[in-house]
Amino acid sequence: MSNPSSIPVLRGSHGTVLQFTGDVLMWSRNAEEVSIPLQAIAHVRAEGRTVTVELVAPSGTAPAVHRVDGVSEAAAALFVPAVTAALPVRAEEDETVDGSTLVSTHTVPEPEDDPWQRMLRNVAIAIGGVSLALALAVGLQGEWLGVLMALLVAPLGLGLSAFGAVMVYLAYLQWYLPRYGITVEAEKAVEYTYNGTASYAYTELDGTRRHISGKSISGTPYVAYETSGTDRRAVCYSPFKVAWDMVFALGLLLAGLGVVALVVVVTGGIFLGG
């Protein structure tokens, strides 16, 4: 039997993914996942950039199929023979089995709306309001260069400062919570390959099932959280990554504050000069 880790994951159009996990094929699209046991599969075929999984069916009935379009032909050429070699040998009595009855379908829950993401949206609205107000005030002074600075440079500085401050706090939580909070094992519920993030599911001590978004990591994921009702939680990362995140966040914060200082000096000069 082939090693599942050596078999490529097929990624097709419309976000469709077909993956071999050792004893099942996982077909997924968006928030829907279909688990197809190997004993339910009759054939796996590749035609160009389309891979079709045909299920076993009783004689005289049309078999159910699951299809992935737009895959890499090179990946399909490796995937199909490997999965075919892993299919179990069927006895004659298995010819009456309806493979679709062995298939299970479930919906992957969307990740919870992170409070930090809500805060970032609110901060973005506030930055826009402040920048427009500053541009209006400078425009009344007749300084159109100052207006451009208020509309273009001020949002950049304020945005970098706000984002850097939030990132500093999140990096702090990544360091603090694993040491002083509750750490539990999690599982990767869904992976977003387009941006390298994932949604992790975990169960708190009171039995509450929750989700949290974070960078996709290999190995067993862990989540740390507080039990005091503060909703402070974080995915656990390596010390190196936590340190790097903190350094990067501090750099963003300092850069943003520098830009804000420049805007204050220039616009302040406009008002004082006026």
Per-residue pLDDT tens over the stretch 210-238: 888 888 888 889 999 998 767 899 999 99
* C-alpha neighbours within 13 Å on the C-beta side of residue 178: 16
Looking up tokens 């901060």, which residue turns up? 123
Domain positions in the chain: 4-107, 115-273
According to the model, what pLDDT value does residue 237 have?
94
The first and second tokens of residue 165, run together, are 């401050």
Q: Please answer whether residues 20 and 3 qualify as being in contact, where contact means their C-beta atoms are separated by less than 8 angstroms.
A: no
According to the model, what pLDDT value does residue 57 have?
87
CATH code, 4-107? 2.30.29.30
How many Cβ atoms sit within 10 Å of the Cβ of residue 12?
19
Write the burial class of residue 209 (CB in 10 Å: 0-12 exposed, 13-18 middle, 19+ buried).
exposed
According to the model, what pLDDT value does residue 133 have?
92
According to the model, what pLDDT value does residue 92 have?
60
Q: Please answer whether residues 164 and 274 qualify as being in contact, where contact means their C-beta atoms are separated by less than 8 angstroms.
A: no
Question: pTM of this prediction?
Answer: 0.56
According to the model, what pLDDT value does residue 3 have?
52
Q: What is the pLDDT of residues 17-29, one digit of tens each?
A: 899 887 889 888 8
According to the model, what pLDDT value does residue 109 have?
63
Positions in the chain whose pLDDT score sits under 50: none
- Measured between alpha carbons, how far is 204 from 2 in angstroms, rounded to an integer? 37
